Structure 1
Amino acid sequence: MRKLKLIWDFRGPAAEKTAQHHEIHLKEYIQNQTTNVDLVGHEIIHELHTIAFMVINEEDKKIFRDTLKPHRGEWMD
């Protein structure tokens, strides 16, 4: 089964703290769901750009996309 990385981009001087906070909300959301989420986290791209992300199964794409409205997604290898 293919995996999809849903991504939320945060930019600016507060990007890291905002992404960390968003990660908390993503974790809270998945605790209330029955779907399987492989990974939730955040990653610093550079000083003014940090992402929060969630890795999901392809079959769950529509549910998470429509509910959580990520900025973009990337297929995982």
Structure 2
Amino acid sequence: MKRKIKLLWDFRGEDALETAKHHTIHLKEFATLEKLPFHEIDIQEKNEMLVSAFIIVDEADMKVFRDALKPQRGEIVF
């Protein structure tokens, strides 16, 4: 079974939600332009001052996304 990896970018402050939403647009654009598969692009809100944008990709594609987009962290998706 292929492992999935969630790559995350954290945004803090009063504009965190809007910034994270905007970042998802760029994640979708990158994946489309590069013709790279992904499972999900979305945001997760920790609280009103901390919101993360994320993309879930197959482990085999993770390095391409990681090297080009420089996420702050990654997690294995179960």
Asked if Structure 1 and Structure 2 have the same fold, meaning a TM-score greater than 0.5 normalized by the shorter chain, the answer is: yes
Structure 1 counterpart SS, 2:44: strand
Q: Cα offset for 1:14?
A: 0.6
Bigger shift: residues 19-28 or 29-38:
29-38
Counterpart CA distance in 2 for 1:61 and 1:27 is 15
Which consecutive unaligned segments of at least 5 residues does structure 2 have? none
Bigger shift: residues 53-62 or 27-36:
27-36
Counterpart CA distance in 1 for 2:41 and 2:15 is 20
Question: What are the within-5 Å matches in structure 2 for residues 52-67 of structure 1?
Answer: 52-67=53-68
How big is the alpha-carbon RMSD for the aligned residues of Structure 1 and Structure 2?
0.7
Question: What are the within-5 Å matches in structure 2 for residues 6-21 of structure 1?
Answer: 6-21=7-22
Structure 2 counterpart SS, 1:17: helix
Structure 1 counterpart SS, 2:9: strand
TM-score by length of structure 2 reads 0.94
Counterpart CA distance in 2 for 1:62 and 1:50 is 23
Query: 2:43 maps to what in 1?
Result: 42
Structure 1 counterpart SS, 2:39: strand
Query: 1:25 maps to what in 2?
Result: 26
Query: 1:2 maps to what in 2?
Result: 3
Counterpart CA distance in 1 for 2:49 and 2:56 is 23
Give runs of ≥4 in structure 1 deviating > 3 Å.
Answer: none
Which consecutive unaligned segments of at least 5 residues does structure 1 have? none
TM-score by length of structure 1 reads 0.95
